[in-house]
Amino acid sequence: MARLSSAQDYKSLLDKYDTWLFDCDGVLWQGDRLVDGVPEALNLLRTHKKRILFVTNNATKSRKSYKKKFDQLGLEAQVDEVFGSAYASAVYLSTVMKMPKHKKVYVVGMKGLEEELEEEGIQHLGGTDPADNTLAEFHLKDFQPDPDVGAVLCGLDTSVNYTKLSKAFTYLRRPGVVFLATNIDSTYPSADGLLPGAGAISAPLACALGREPLSIGKPAETMMDCIKAKHQFDPTRAIMVGDRLNTDIEFGNRGGLSTLLVLTGITHESEVVGPHASTTVPTYFTNSIGDLRAAIS
């Protein structure tokens, strides 16, 4: 593992890699605030004809609404450069599970997740349905489960409640109903600090059922398969940039890519150097992706 510091370090990084995969929250921005120097760093890569891909576990937004976030922040991005765990989950259901058209997914999640399911032609229940977004008491006797539900898909859902959890639990107790999570990040970096993440939304179900969901997002291979289906690249000339060791860095390492950890998000320096360092080790680390600007000088 190398700590990047000199202009030469960043120049050789630029030479070595043609494909740059970026996590977003905690790397490009923190909530609604751009990380310092990000526009310049991304422009530098585009000027050098690098392929840029954005790979996010955030499943609250579809790729289209994610693109809007880039627009609002003044960052150039194309929809087909964006890979979210909501999209990857929809692709998993349609192409890996090959879920029949008449089958449905019960969603514990938000609008972006529903949009990606719809793009893949997958029928869904729950999610933003007003009937399931309630704090009213839930009684099993008033619930008629839909026999066509073949999977429960959990993502970050800030409207999570006992009715959704109870319905999801009831479906998951039926034989053959698959338990999926867009991702299992334990926390979510909001603009003002950490909040419970998608892993905290599927945790009640995992507890009640005594089994864990299959997680689609980073570090799972499903996400990498999704990207490779659309973009061919040489892993030895590709680098994954992220702020989380157990998702981003693990994801890049597993895929045979080089990895660059930045310290603008979740991970503290003490987790990569020193006696308490993690066993997941990035190829490089630096304070911020903005540091790449040093290569310009």
Note whether 208 binds a copy of itself by CB under 8 A. yes
Residue in 126, 127, 155, 204 binding a copy of itself, rule: CB under 8 A? 204
Region near a copy of itself per CB under 8 A, out of 19-27, 93-101, 190-198, 223-231 = 190-198
Note whether 177 binds a copy of itself by CB under 8 A. no
Note whether 186 binds a copy of itself by CB under 8 A. yes
The residue (of 45 and 160) whose beta carbon lies closer to a copy of itself is 160
Residue 174: closest CA among 154, 135, 146: 146
258 vs 189: CA distance, rounded Å: 24
Note whether 131 binds a copy of itself by CB under 8 A. no
Note whether 158 binds a copy of itself by CB under 8 A. yes
Note whether 137 binds a copy of itself by CB under 8 A. yes
Residues with active-site annotation: 18
Note whether 194 binds a copy of itself by CB under 8 A. yes
Note whether 121 binds a copy of itself by CB under 8 A. no
The residue (of 130 and 274) whose beta carbon lies closer to a copy of itself is 130
Give, in order, the Cα–Cα distances in Å from 64 to each of 34, 81, 84: 19, 11, 10
The residue (of 94 and 170) whose beta carbon lies closer to a copy of itself is 170
Note whether 200 binds a copy of itself by CB under 8 A. yes
Q: How far is the CB of 204 from a copy of itself (least distance, A)?
A: 4
Region near a copy of itself per CB under 8 A, out of 94-102, 118-126, 137-145, 233-241 = 137-145
The residue (of 21 and 59) whose beta carbon lies closer to a copy of itself is 59
Note whether 165 binds a copy of itself by CB under 8 A. yes
Note whether 141 binds a copy of itself by CB under 8 A. yes
Note whether 145 binds a copy of itself by CB under 8 A. no
**Residue ranges binding a copy of itself (CB under 8 A):** 133-135, 137-141, 157-162, 165-166, 169-170, 173, 186-187, 190-197, 199-201, 203-210
